[in-house]
Structure 1
Amino acid sequence: MNIDPRIAQNIVDNLKDVLHYDINFFDTKGIMTASTDSSRIGTYHDAACKAAGSGVTIMVDQDRPYQGARDGVNVPVLFNDSVVAVIGITGPLDEVGSLGRIIEKMTEILLRANMEQITRFNRRIMTGNLVNLLTMEHKDDGLMEALSMTLDVDLARPRSALIGFAPGVRLERLDQDNLYDRLCSICLSFDAPLFAVGPRDFRIFIHDLPSGTLKEFAQALQTGLGEAVGSDVLLGMGRVMSHPQEYWRSYDQACTVVHWTCFAGMTGVHRYDDLDGGLIIPALPPALAEEFVQHVFAGMKEERIDWFAEIFHAYTKHNGSITHAAQELFIHKNTMQNRLDALAKETGYNPRSLKDYPVLEAAFAIREYRAFERNMNQE
């Protein structure tokens, strides 16, 4: 087992803070890989080599000289019952000789803590890679299976994607460790081991949960993640997929949910199957959406369309009541009537006609959603 020199240097620096002697870290071949005396790094130390080979502490002084060694004590470091390194402390034996057991135990504790941190980090990276693979339609099946086996995750279970999205927040610009720790704590407490922090969203694949448990999970996510990002978090859920090759569909559905709910100004948790217009408008190919909008508004200037949009939305909000719509816009009802007439004349679609109204409603909604999507992509 090779100890990363950065870990070794961190250990010797921590030990010197406590013991105030120069501390040296050696590999099992007696090469100094880290030290509080940087001039000695890379040198060979015969006493450390013998300590590693014999598994016993080696003392060095004038009566017991060793090649490359200075007075002090050299102690083998055990990890999983094997010698993985040697830790040395430089100084007169009458001062440092009694510290051998102390530096041995402290080094083992620090080494174990570092290795556990590395293990957690590696698992975090592997889990993130697996989750990202599962969001893709075309993926490396071999890598997906290898990661799931290493992580001991059963991909045979039906799962749905759950996306957490904070409007206007780029997660990649925040403290990733804090975000991951929050997400990890919540997900593992609900037996949901497949989760990752994306550049703009939290990605979770969950197995079937009872409705009460799912509600608790969603509340925990909204509260915990909201505190972590300093903003409200929308949650969108896709349909349950029975096979990992289909998980990406649920992820796409969940993304559609959070985008639509953000666009519509909705809050809370929403499922894909609960959407209405959100099932249709986001699914339109961009070219087709633009063609439809251009067809309805026939080359009208953007400022003019915005003006008509305000009128149309007020008319819709008040269920076709010209009087109440006019009051909201602080205009006379005759002025409201004239503006609706102008909308009908310039588009060819009369908002007061049951046949024409849905066309106008769709055109305004598609136009606004396309603008929302463009702004999202630019953030």
Structure 2
Amino acid sequence: MYLRKDTAAKIIQEISMILDYDINIMDEKGAILASTNPDRVGMFHEGAFRIIRHGLRELAVYEDGQYQGCRRGINLPIFLNDRIIGVIGITGEVSEVMKYGKVLKKMTEILLMDLFSYQKKSQQEQVRLIFVNEWINTQPFAFSPDFKESLAEYGLPIESSYAVCLVTPASVLEDAEDLKERSFLHARNGETGIVICAVSSADQAEAFIKKAARNSGADEFLCAIGGMQKDYTGVRHSYRQAQKLMALKRGKKGCFFYEDSVAELILNDVDAEYKELLSRQLLSQLTRQERQEFADFMEVYIRCNGSVNAIAKELFVHKNTVQYKINKIVRKTGRDPRVLKDAFVLAMTAQWMQRN
């Protein structure tokens, strides 16, 4: 790793808040990359060059100009992975700044290690996202020749069933690496996390997402789990199923399965013209507020299978209030949710309203 200007500038910014001395960071060629004195940036620093060239443990400069481009102070090598990658210098009387040298050197190396680890992790995540994007967007016959080798590198089996999960916010997967789960490959694409799961059931995929959420401290999230596919060639199909399900469940929280939501998805795909026509026929007698109340009530009604007792319990109202709401729907829409064919039409209309 070589020191970059932006990295050196970040370190100078952090350290300058602690020490009231001019500080310089030089690269492996002896050039000043960053300094609390902007006029010195870009200058050649012979002291740093000598440290790097001869492997010196430190170099004190007792007079300005003793070495080309140098001022009084102490200069020390910066190590990363047992290799000198630069030099840090403190300007001032050697007897005064010497006591800060080792502490400053150690702080710089710790900051560099943190930045290096972050950059390395970011690079790995980017490479992983490129591979995942190829997998979910490419027809199997168009996979690159080394695709199966990449699968093996990520520890994913060829002979396994697969499913794809989409999760938002993507921060749910922030610490998923720590789980050490070899059957799951995850990547972040903006605010959406993508997880490719080599599992035998969708329940295992759900368990992984919930475990990752607990690990990251996420309390609320939306996860859409595509249908199970017989092998890795079906990942693209499962991904598209998860996309449809994610759009359908937008605004909700929890884990949802494509294979449990087929009826909702079919209804959601009905032509917009038909939806508008049916809504106009049914809801013309309802005010805006009544329409929202209708949609909310029908969602509970269907979930409780029309049980008045169950509906009353969930809504925290008396059974008579539930009967009143049902009768109001009959009066205002001409359809009775207690009649199966009417309940189907009313439920469809309520769902479309919730989506818009």
TM-score > 0.5, shorter chain as reference: yes
Equivalent residues of 1:127, 1:151 under 8 A apart: no
How far off is 1:305 after superposition? 8.1
User: 2: CA distance between counterparts of 1:301 and 1:210?
Assistant: 41
Kindly indicate whether residue 260 of structure 2 is the aligned counterpart of residue 274 of structure 1: yes
Counterpart mapping for 1:355-370 below 5 A: 357=341, 363-370=345-352
How far off is 1:44 after superposition? 1.3
Kindly indicate whether residue 113 of structure 2 is the aligned counterpart of residue 112 of structure 1: yes
Counterpart in the other structure of 1:11: 11
SS class of match (1:330): helix
Give the TM-score, by structure 2 length. Answer: 0.71
User: 2: CA distance between counterparts of 1:23 and 1:249?
Assistant: 56
How far off is 1:34 after superposition? 0.5
- 1:255–1:125 distance in 2 versus 1, CA, 3 Å: same
- 1:330–1:363 distance in 2 versus 1, CA, 3 Å: closer
User: 1: CA distance between counterparts of 2:146 and 2:75?
Assistant: 45
How far off is 1:210 after superposition? 7.5
Counterpart in the other structure of 2:241: 253
User: 2: CA distance between counterparts of 1:62 and 1:240?
Assistant: 73
- 1:98–1:371 distance in 2 versus 1, CA, 3 Å: same
Equivalent residues of 1:130, 1:144 under 8 A apart: no
User: 2: CA distance between counterparts of 1:74 and 1:332?
Assistant: 83
Counterpart in the other structure of 2:199: 208
SS class of match (1:280): helix
Deviation digits for residues 308-341 of structure 1 (CA, Å, limit 9, x no counterpart): 9959959986489xxxx997353897x987767x
- 1:25–1:136 distance in 2 versus 1, CA, 3 Å: same
Counterpart in the other structure of 2:271: 289
How far off is 1:32 after superposition? 0.4
User: 1: CA distance between counterparts of 2:97 and 2:301?
Assistant: 87
Counterpart in the other structure of 1:240: 228
Q: Which amino acid aligns with 2:211?
A: A
User: 1: CA distance between counterparts of 2:148 and 2:326?
Assistant: 69
User: 1: CA distance between counterparts of 2:163 and 2:116?
Assistant: 34
Give the TM-score, by structure 1 length. Answer: 0.68
How far off is 1:20 after superposition? 3.5
SS class of match (2:271): helix
Which among 141, 157, 164 is matched to residue 161 of structure 1?
A: 164
How far off is 1:33 after superposition? 0.6
- 1:18–1:123 distance in 2 versus 1, CA, 3 Å: same
User: 1: CA distance between counterparts of 2:152 and 2:104?
Assistant: 34
How far off is 1:29 after superposition? 1.7
How far off is 1:71 after superposition? 1.4
Counterpart in the other structure of 1:303: 284
Kindly indicate whether residue 199 of structure 2 is the aligned counterpart of residue 183 of structure 1: no
Equivalent residues of 1:130, 1:147 under 8 A apart: no
Q: Which amino acid aligns with 1:290?
A: A
User: 1: CA distance between counterparts of 2:60 and 2:96?
Assistant: 12
Q: Which amino acid aligns with 1:106?
A: M
- 1:124–1:144 distance in 2 versus 1, CA, 3 Å: farther
SS class of match (2:174): helix
How far off is 1:9 after superposition? 2.0
- 1:143–1:90 distance in 2 versus 1, CA, 3 Å: farther
SS class of match (1:269): strand
Q: Which amino acid aligns with 2:22?
A: D
How far off is 1:247 after superposition? 1.4
Deviation digits for residues 234-253 of structure 1 (CA, Å, limit 9, x no counterpart): 43322233554431221222
Counterpart in the other structure of 1:174: none
- 1:46–1:134 distance in 2 versus 1, CA, 3 Å: same
Counterpart in the other structure of 1:217: 208
User: 1: CA distance between counterparts of 2:162 and 2:16?
Assistant: 51
Counterpart mapping for 1:12-27 below 5 A: 12-27=12-27
Segments of 5+ residues of structure 1 without an aligned counterpart are: 166-170, 172-178, 345-349
Counterpart in the other structure of 2:80: 79
How far off is 1:111 after superposition? 1.6
Counting aligned pairs with the same residue, the percent is 21
Segments of 5+ residues of structure 2 without an aligned counterpart are: 309-318
